[in-house]
Amino acid sequence: NAGVTQTPKFRILKIGQSMTLQCAQDMNHNYMYWYRQDPGMGLKLIYYSVGAGITDKGEVPNGYNVSRSTTEDFPLRLELAAPSQTSVYFCASSYSGQANSPLHFGNGTRLTVT
Amino acid sequence: AQSVTQLDSHVSVSEGTPVLLRCNYSSSYSPSLFWYVQHPNKGLQLLLKYTSAATLVKGINGFEAEFKKSETSFHLTKPSAHMSDAAEYFCVVSDAGNQFYFGTGTSLTVIP
């Protein structure tokens, strides 16, 4: 049981390049989330999904896209990288069928756009 | 609407002294409350969660939190700080729709 797995751990992009941050969970959680964390700013929700085939915008979705074709996977796509997207990205999952179900986090992807 | 306010952005304590990290919440529902810890360059780890079974919640590594509905607070405490407790701590509230709302974090420094 690996929990939530994110790849890659680190990435440097040039402005205008694109990439996909991968996220997979093996806990059969129906909810999955992408957050970004900037220094001193806490976590901000980018996108979330309540199940396969269903995604919705969070607080800061501009510049990102997501898909959820399976319960396990929730990739985050950056199409035209900008310096403002330099951040640490966390994927998380939770289970809606249990009251007080917490978020389970991956170890993060540290992205630098130069 | 749900929201969380962590009242201190930085807390410094000496090793062996008590820790108090303060959190106030706003919730339209009976809230689900959590504390997470993040060590440098690491992911977020669940410390404890409020389940409504008891107002005093025990977590990992000797941490506790007390739910006080009248004060809308969920402060995190530990009787004796250890050097390994130095980290960023986040108070989180969730709603019935599995949406989670984060505080801005409290950075805990432990002085040897």
Measured between CB atoms, which of B32, B44, B104 is closest to A100? B32
The CA distance from B42 to the nearest CA of chain A, in Å, is 6
CATH number at residue B76: 2.60.40.10
The answer to whether position B61 is within a domain reads: yes
Q: What would the mean pLDDT of A61-84 be, rounded to a whole number?
A: 96
Determine the 3-state secondary structure of B1 from DSSP.
coil
CB contact under 8 A, A108 and B43: yes
To 10 degrees, the CA torsion angle through A7, B94, A29, B85? 50
**Could you give the 3-state DSSP secondary structure of residue A45?**
strand
Q: Of B108, B107, B76, B102, nearest to B4 (Cα)?
A: B102
Would you state the pLDDT for residue B27?
A: 80
| Selection from B68, B72, B64 nearest residue B35 by Cα | B64
Tell if the CB–CB gap between A42 and B90 is shorter than 8 Å.
yes
Selecting from B43, B45, B98 the residue whose C-beta is nearest the C-beta of A96 gives B98
- Per-residue pLDDT at A99: 67
Kindly list the residues of chain A whose beta carbon comes within 8 Å of any beta carbon in chain B: 31, 33, 40-43, 45, 48, 50, 90, 92, 94, 96, 99-108, 110
Question: For chains A and B, what is the number of CB pairs under 8 angstroms?
Answer: 52
Q: Is residue B47 part of a domain?
A: yes
- Provide, as residue numbers in chain A, all residues whose Cβ is less than 8 Å from the Cβ of B90: 42-43
Q: Which of A110, A103, A88, A85 is nearest to A15 (CA)?
A: A85
Please tell me the distance from the alpha carbon of residue A106 to that of residue B13, in angstroms, as a whole number.
29
Q: How far is B106 from chain A (nearest CA, A)?
A: 9
In a domain, B4, yes or no: no
Q: Give a yes or no: residue B103 inside a domain.
A: no
Walk me through the domains of chain A, giving residue ranges and CATH numbers: 4-113 (2.60.40.10)
Q: Does residue B6 sit within a domain?
A: no
Is B96's Cβ below 8 Å from some Cβ in A? no
- State the total domains in chain B: 1
Task: Report if residue B109 sits inside a domain.
Answer: no
- What is the model's pLDDT at position B94? 87
Mutation to test the A interface, candidates B9, B74, B100, B101, most A Cβ within 10 Å: B100
Residues of the domain holding B78: 17-92
A56-60, B51-55, B79-83: lowest mean pLDDT where? Answer: B51-55
Phi, psi dihedrals of residue A33, rounded to the nearest 5°:
-140, 150
d(CA A74, CA A76): 7
Interchain CB contact of B51 with A (< 8 Å): yes
- Whether the CB-CB separation of B25 and B91 falls below 8 Å is answered with yes
Q: A108 and B51: CB-CB below 8 Å?
A: no
Identify whether B55 is part of a domain.
yes
The pLDDT tens digits of the residues spanning B20-42 come to: 999 999 987 778 899 999 998 88
- Reported as a single tens digit per residue, the pLDDT across A40-68 is 778 999 999 999 999 999 999 999 999 99
B100 domain-assigned: no
- Say which of B44, B51, B52 has its CB closest to residue A105: B44
Q: What is the pLDDT of residues B6-20, one digit of tens each?
A: 999 999 999 999 999
